Amino acid sequence: MAKTRPGKKDLDAYTIRGTNKVVRVGDCVLMRPSETSKLPYVARVEKIEADNRNNIKVRVRWYYRPEESIGGRRQFHGAKELFLSDHYDLQSAHTIEGKCIVHTFKNYTKLENVGAEDYYCRFEYKAATGAFTPDRVAVYCTCEMPYNPDDLMVQCEGCKDWYHPACVSMTIEEAKKLDHFVCSECASDADIKKTENIFSASPVAEDKVRISER
């Protein structure tokens, strides 16, 4: 943890101006952007301090949206996806507009309802180089893309792989009506046994039905 500078004192909490919402170290917050046309910045509070004039500042670690990264937004990036960067800053606490929750990827896929304050993070990001950790993730479907929790996918009862409806010549409406799905490779295997088992709703969730849709 960063040392407090001379003339500064650490604070346990800060109440967002005009609200009763309390921010503590470790909380994720929405911060006012420099341009009103932009979405709020998202950051994790690392430290809260006040000077002898009671000016309150927060040391934050920024989350980047995919479009703010060097590589830009890609097909598998979800609408609520963020990258935890190695970019730290000291900001006026008055720029905090609200609180939010940045879930792990697995926990996000288990949410019954995604609210405006819900985000998720599965990568750490080095702002200077554009490098990600981890640098490899599981891929699915014939398109071999990482999982996007915003997209509907269906699971093959044979190989248990997940497929986008469009990648298997199917509309989303048709996919929603499926009772069973077998991919083309498994369909040629005469030994496939149809089952009534309930499979997971996504490649990372364990406890819902087998057609995945956020």
Q: Which of 121, 119, 116 is nearest to 83 (CA)?
A: 121
Q: What is the DSSP string of 184-197?
A: HHHHT-TT-----P
pLDDT over threshold 60, residue 106:
yes
DSSP-derived 3-state class of residue 123: strand
Q: Is residue 214 part of a domain?
A: no
Same domain, 77 and 163: no
Contact status, residue 102 vs residue 120, Cβ threshold 8 Å: yes
Q: Is residue 1 part of a domain?
A: no
pLDDT over threshold 80, residue 189:
no
pLDDT over threshold 90, residue 192:
no
Q: Which of 214, 210, 109 is nearest to 160 (CA)?
A: 210
pLDDT over threshold 60, residue 210:
no
Same domain, 63 and 103: yes
CA–CA distance from 127 to each of 43, 104, 124, 149, 196 (Å)? Answer: 14, 20, 10, 25, 47
> How far does the chain reach from its first CA to its final CA, in angstroms?
37
Contact status, residue 99 vs residue 28, Cβ threshold 8 Å: yes
Cis peptide before 134 (omega within 30 of 0): yes
- What is the C-alpha separation between 196 and 194, in angstroms, rounded? 7
Percent of the chain with pLDDT over 70: 85
Q: Tell me which residue range forms the domain holding 196.
A: 152-200
Mean pLDDT of 22-47: 95
- What is the C-alpha separation between 47 and 1, in angstroms, rounded? 8
pLDDT over threshold 80, residue 196:
no
pLDDT in tens, 115-127: 999 999 999 999 9
CATH number at residue 181: 3.30.40.10
- What is the C-alpha separation between 2 and 57, in angstroms, rounded? 13
Q: Encoding tokens for residue 40?
A: 């709020």
Q: How confident is the model at residue 34 (pLDDT cuts 50, 70, 90)?
A: confident
Which carries the bigger pLDDT value, residue 161 or residue 199?
Answer: 161
Mean pLDDT of 141-163: 93
Same domain, 43 and 94: yes
Q: Is 20 left (phi over 0), alpha (psi -120 to 50) or beta?
A: alpha
Q: How confident is the model at residue 8 (pLDDT cuts 50, 70, 90)?
A: confident
Contact status, residue 98 vs residue 30, Cβ threshold 8 Å: yes
Beta strand pairing call for 81-92 and 96-104: unpaired
pTM for this entry: 0.81
Q: How confident is the model at residue 35 (pLDDT cuts 50, 70, 90)?
A: confident
pLDDT in tens, 161-187: 999 999 999 999 999 998 889 998 888
Same domain, 84 and 167: no
Same domain, 77 and 122: yes
Same domain, 52 and 115: yes
Contact status, residue 63 vs residue 125, Cβ threshold 8 Å: no
Q: Is residue 144 part of a domain?
A: no
pLDDT over threshold 60, residue 208:
no
Neighbours of 127 (CB within 10 A): 16
Q: What is the mean pLDDT of the chain?
A: 87
pLDDT in tens, 39-93: 999 999 999 999 888 899 999 999 999 999 999 999 999 999 999 999 999 999 9
Q: Is residue 207 part of a domain?
A: no
